[in-house]
Amino acid sequence: MTYEYDRDTAISALGDGLHGAHLSPGWAVGPAINGGYLLAIIGKAVAAELASRTPDKSHPDPFSVSAHFLSAATAGPAYVETKVIRSGGRFSTVEATLVQDVDGARVPRIAALATYGRHRDQHSDRAHDPTSDAAAAALGLALAPPVLPPVEECVVSSDAPPEVREVAPLLLRFGTRFDPATAMWALGQPSGNGLIQGWFKLADDCPLDAVGLLMVVDALPPVTFDLGMIGWAPTLELTAYVRARPAPGWLVVRHQTRTMAGGLFEEDCEVWDSTGTLVAQSRQLALQPRTP
């Protein structure tokens, strides 16, 4: 395995539904490990568990993964406990909990429910199928990606100020190119729109599959940055939908919030692949930063 993402999300089957992992410090943001990186590890463990139980490996792809964040994970050993609660038919569902040992005690970090299946080949010929993507497009229901400036005119995440890179080394893992109009918060001029978008790939060009999209939906900074709130916005819950396997090439990612209420905000994310197909979307509920 030559890619950093592949290495850092590697899991090993330990039997009885248990999968071992090692959380790399390179994916930290402030005091915690990035949630999307942890979701990808959980997603790989679920896929491995299902593959070990069904010889035809019929459910390799996430459709919906709901994660409730319980405590902040730290670099070091971790385990994913899995329990298959539905299998057979079109979908399988797995309970998966990411845990770490702290002074000999089992501490749960993330509790997740994951429903997996097999995504269609998105470009197969199904012209006469009323459930085809072509039929959806004809109904105006193929959500189009935002129009972004060319990659080379966008802002590279690894160009973030040194103090930001220091608290968020994961910026060096990501090859994000921010739409400059939605990155003015980095210069102290947040737009106030609550919108951040850009091109996305991993810095080392590691190709991403359907499970990798679970990382991408939590890869941008919190949209509260664009509201002038540069602070820690802990996620309470995140549900990701993977809608299709991504084609190779640059992804387009958009994060947006519409509602702040009761001290929390929801953050919606959409991800399109290089063919313009919506491949993932997610919504999370997070605590509003109390600063500045």
Q: Does 64 bind a second copy (CB under 8 A)?
A: yes
* Best CA proximity match to 115, nearest among 132, 141, 134, 95: 95
Q: Does 100 bind a second copy (CB under 8 A)?
A: no
Residue from 18, 113, 172, 184 in contact with a second copy (CB under 8 A): 113
Distances in Å between the Cα of 81 and the Cα atoms of 49, 111, 144, 160, 169 are 10, 10, 37, 36, 27
CB of 63: closest distance to a second copy in angstroms?
6
Residue from 30, 77, 192, 248 in contact with a second copy (CB under 8 A): 192
- The structure tokens listed for 67 are 């994660």
What is the rounded distance in angstroms from the CA atom of residue 191 to the CA atom of residue 170? 24
Q: Does 97 bind a second copy (CB under 8 A)?
A: yes
**CA 196 from centre of chain:** 15
Q: Does 9 bind a second copy (CB under 8 A)?
A: no
- On the 0-12 / 13-18 / 19+ scale of CB atoms within 10 A, 102 is exposed
- Asked if omega into 207 is within 30° of 0 (cis), the reply is no
- The structure tokens listed for 108 are 């749960």
Q: Does 53 bind a second copy (CB under 8 A)?
A: no
Length of the chain, in residues? 292
Q: Does 66 bind a second copy (CB under 8 A)?
A: yes
Residues in contact with 24: Cβ distance below 8 Å, sequence separation at least 6, in sequence order: 7, 8, 75
Q: Does 142 bind a second copy (CB under 8 A)?
A: yes
Q: Return phi, psi of residue 101, to 5°.
A: -85, 125
Site for a second copy, residues 218 to 277, rule: CB under 8 A: 227, 229, 236-237, 239, 241, 243-244, 257-266, 277
- On the 0-12 / 13-18 / 19+ scale of CB atoms within 10 A, 272 is buried
What is the rounded distance in angstroms from the CA atom of residue 241 to the CA atom of residue 58? 18
Residue from 68, 164, 203, 250 in contact with a second copy (CB under 8 A): 68
CB of 184: closest distance to a second copy in angstroms?
16
CB of 50: closest distance to a second copy in angstroms?
14
Name the one range near a second copy by CB under 8 A: 51-59, 65-73, 172-180, 246-254.
Answer: 65-73
Asked if 179 and 154 count as a contact pair (C-beta separation under 8 A), the reply is yes
Asked if 144 and 276 count as a contact pair (C-beta separation under 8 A), the reply is yes
CB of 129: closest distance to a second copy in angstroms?
8
CB of 139: closest distance to a second copy in angstroms?
6
Q: Does 79 bind a second copy (CB under 8 A)?
A: no
Residue from 46, 73, 84, 111 in contact with a second copy (CB under 8 A): 111
Which residues form the interface with a second copy (CB under 8 A)? Answer: 63-64, 66, 68, 70-71, 85-86, 91, 93, 95, 97, 108, 111-113, 115, 119-120, 122, 130-133, 135-136, 139-143, 192, 194, 227, 229, 236-237, 239, 241, 243-244, 257-266, 277-278, 281, 283, 285, 288, 290
